[in-house]
Amino acid sequence: MTIAEGLSFGLLGAGAFFFMAGSVGLIRLPDRFTRLHALTKADNVGLGLIVLGLMPLAADVREALKLGLIWILVVIAGATGAHLIAKRALRGDGEDAQ
């Protein structure tokens, strides 16, 4: 196993751990805002670690940069989405409890 493979081994494991922690948090935490907190960690850090772990395995530099681009897009979309959802929940419109 080369150094690059060992590096991606550890990074991928850490990413999977963050995803697992995020989804367990999404189930276990008591209200929407704490759940939002768990979700954003899984989204940004988890996928970031997975992407970092896959970068050393990529065929060439272009593929690696594309992986990075996907992560940046997810971070932007995730941050915007989290703010929108939190604002909507604070405002309380459309939250018809069932």
Binding test (CB under 8 A) with other proteins, winner from 3, 34, 61, 94: 94
3-state SS string for the chain: CCHHHHHHHHHHHHHHHHHHHHHHHHHHCCCHHHHHHHHHHHHHHHHHHHHHHHHHHCCCHHHHHHHHHHHHHHHHHHHHHHHHHHHHHHHCCCCCCC
Q: By CB under 8 A, tell whether 7 contacts other proteins.
A: no
- Residues 58-77 within binding reach of other proteins (CB under 8 A): 63, 66-67, 69-70, 73-74, 76-77
- Residues 28-47 within binding reach of other proteins (CB under 8 A): 32, 35-36, 39, 42-43, 46-47
